[in-house]
C-alpha cells in the first residue's frame, strides 16, 4: 500500500506514534504482566513476552527518534539549514546511534548473533566509495546492513528503498532528510526510475556507500515465479532459464544498479548475501520464529571498478553470475540454531 501524502505522515501519523509510545511505556508493567500470564498458554519459551517487548520497544524507539529529529529540525532554523553538511553529518550520527540501540534490542530479545565474513568495506579498499548490492529478504536485513555500514565500517549510506517504508514515521523523516531515494516499483512517471537512481549515485566520496537491492522486493516463491514469467513474456528466454536455477533469490533487475555504476565509475562494487532472517517478513513470521536463538551470517564479496564489465550484455551476464553465486552460498549456509548457554538451556528445559 502506498504511503499517504507527506503532510498526513508528518502532522497525523508521527504525533500518533509518539503519543502511543508514551501510553505503552507508562503502562508497560501491565502489558508485560498480561504477557507473562498468557505465556504458558502458547508454545515457545516466553514467546508472548518477547513479542510484546519487541513491539513496545520498537514503538518507543521510533518515537524517540522522532523527538530527536524534531529537535534537529528546530536547531537547524526550523529546517533552514537542514541540508547543510553539518546537519547532514548530525543526521548520520543519529542514524548510527539509533540503529545501534535497535541492534542491541534485537540481540537481547531474540538472542541473535551476527557474523561478518568476506571482503567488507574495511578490507576491500579503505577510502574508496562503494556500490553495495544486497539480496533482499525482509526488513530486518536492511536494518542490519545499514547498521553495519554506519557503525562498523564508518560509511555514510545512500539508499534506494521502497516508498512503502515511509509508513514508518522515523524512517520517513530521517531518510528523507539524507540523500536517499524512495521509489515505487512498476510506477509510470515522467522520468525513468533508473535516471533517479543514477542521480543519487553522482558525487560519491571516499566514505560513501550507495546501497541498492536489485531484486526490488523480498523473496517469496510466488514472486520468483512471477519474475520468471515476466522475463519470458518480454522475450528474455536466456535470463528466464538462469532465473529458474535461482532457488533462494529473485532474478535481479539490472537497470538501477547499472545506472549507479555508470554514475560512480570510480566506486567498487560489494555484493552482500546473508542468512538468518529470511523468514522474518511479517509479525506472523516473527511470532512463528520466536524464540530465535540464531546466528546470522553476512557475507561480503568485493569487485574492483576495473573488473566491472562495460558492455550491456556482458554486465547482465556478470550480474546473473554473481546472483547465482549468492544463491549457492545461501543454500550452503542455511540458518543454524545458535548454541545455547547452559543457564539458558536449563531455563528452557524447565
pLDDT at 277: 66
pLDDT at 347: 31
What's the CA gap between 49 and 58, in Å, rounded?
Answer: 14
pLDDT tens, residue by residue, 302-343: 999 999 999 999 999 999 999 999 999 998 887 654 443 333
Strand 181-183 to 208-212 pairing: unpaired
Q: How confident is the model at residue 345 (pLDDT cuts 50, 70, 90)?
A: very low
What's the CA gap between 346 and 350, in Å, rounded?
Answer: 6
User: Residue 267 has which C-alpha cell?
Assistant: 566506486
H or E element: which one contains 258? helix 254-263
List beta partners, residue 173: none
72 neighbors 94 (Cβ within 8 angstroms): yes
pLDDT at 295: 76
| pLDDT tops 80 at residue 281 | no
pLDDT over 70 percentage in the chain: 87
86 half-sphere exposure, CB direction, 13 A CA radius: 8
Q: Indicate the SS3 state at residue 129.
A: coil
CA distances from 223 to 164, 217, 248, 312, 346 (A): 17, 9, 11, 25, 42
What's the CA gap between 229 and 227, in Å, rounded?
Answer: 5
Q: What is the signed CA dihedral for 27, 30, 36, 37, rounded to 10 degrees?
A: -150
137 neighbors 320 (Cβ within 8 angstroms): no
Would the CA dihedral through 76, 79, 83, 87 be positive or negative? positive
What number of other Cβ atoms are within 10 A of residue 343's Cβ?
A: 8
H or E element: which one contains 208? strand 208-212
User: Residue 300 has which C-alpha cell?
Assistant: 561480503
pLDDT at 340: 39
Owner of C-alpha cell 562494487: 269
264 neighbors 204 (Cβ within 8 angstroms): yes
Q: How far apart are the first and last CA of the chain?
A: 44
pLDDT at 53: 85
User: Residue 55 has which C-alpha cell?
Assistant: 513491539
Average pLDDT, the chain: 87
Instruction: Give the chain's length.
Output: 350
User: Residue 209 has which C-alpha cell?
Assistant: 556507500
H or E element: which one contains 273? strand 268-275
pLDDT tens, residue by residue, 186-222: 665 567 888 899 999 999 999 999 999 999 888 888 9
| pLDDT tops 60 at residue 174 | yes
User: Residue 268 has which C-alpha cell?
Assistant: 567498487
Strand 181-183 to 268-275 pairing: unpaired
pLDDT over 90 percentage in the chain: 61
User: Residue 154 has which C-alpha cell?
Assistant: 564508518
Amino acid at each position: 500500500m502506498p504511503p499517504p501524502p507527506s503532510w498526513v505522515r508528518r502532522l497525523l501519523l508521527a504525533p500518533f506514534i509518539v503519543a502511543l509510545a508514551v501510553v505503552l511505556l507508562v503502562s508497560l508493567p501491565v502489558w508485560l504482566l498480561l504477557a507473562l500470564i498468557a505465556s504458558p498458554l502458547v508454545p515457545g519459551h516466553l514467546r508472548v513476552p518477547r513479542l510484546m517487548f519487541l513491539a513496545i520497544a520498537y514503538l518507543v524507539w521510533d518515537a524517540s527518534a522522532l523527538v530527536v529529529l524534531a529537535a534537529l529540525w528546530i536547531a537547524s532554523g526550523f529546517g533552514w539549514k537542514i541540508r547543510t553538511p553539518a546537519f547532514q553529518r548530525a543526521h548520520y550520527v543519529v542514524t548510527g546511534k539509533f540503529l545501534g540501540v535497535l541492534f542491541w534490542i534485537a540481540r537481547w530479545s531474540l538472542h541473535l548473533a551476527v557474523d561478518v565474513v568476506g571482503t567488507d568495506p574495511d578490507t576491500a579498499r579503505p577510502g574508496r566509495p562503494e556500490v553495495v548490492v544486497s539480496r533482499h529478504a525482509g526488513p530486518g536485513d536492511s536494518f542490519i546492513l545499514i547498521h553495519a555500514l554506519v557503525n562498523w565500517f564508518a560509511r555514510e549510506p545512500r539508499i534506494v528503498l521502497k516508498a512503502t517504508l515511509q509508513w514508518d514515521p522515523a524512517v520517513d523523516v530521517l531518510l528523507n532528510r539524507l540523500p536517499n531515494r524512495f521509489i515505487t516499483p512498476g510506477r509510470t512517471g515522467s522520468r525513468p526510475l533508473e535516471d533517479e537512481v543514477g542521480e543519487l549515485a553522482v558525487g560519491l566520496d571516499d566514505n560513501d556507500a550507495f546501497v541498492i537491492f536489485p531484486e526490488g522486493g523480498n523473496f517469496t516463491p510466488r514472486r520468483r515465479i512471477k519474475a520468471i514469467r515476466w522475463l519470458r513474456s518480454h522475450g528474455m528466454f536466456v535470463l528466464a532459464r538462469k532465473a529458474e536455477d535461482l532457488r533462494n533469490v529473485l532474478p535481479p533487475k539490472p537497470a538501477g544498479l547499472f545506472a549507479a555504476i555508470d554514475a560512480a565509475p570510480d566506486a567498487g562494487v560489494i555484493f552482500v548475501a546473508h542468512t538468518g532472517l529470511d523468514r522474518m517478513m511479517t509479525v506472523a513470521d516473527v511470532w512463528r520464529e520466536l524464540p530465535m536463538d540464531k546466528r546470522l551470517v553476512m557475507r561480503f564479496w568485493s569487485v574492483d571498478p576495473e573488473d566491472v564489465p562495460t558492455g550491456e550484455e556482458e554486465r547482465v551476464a556478470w550480474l546473473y553470475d554473481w546472483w547465482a553465486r549468492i544463491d549457492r552460498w545461501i543454500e550452503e549456509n542455511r540458518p543454524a540454531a545458535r548454541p545455547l548457554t547452559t543457564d539458558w538451556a536449563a531455563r528452557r528445559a524447565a
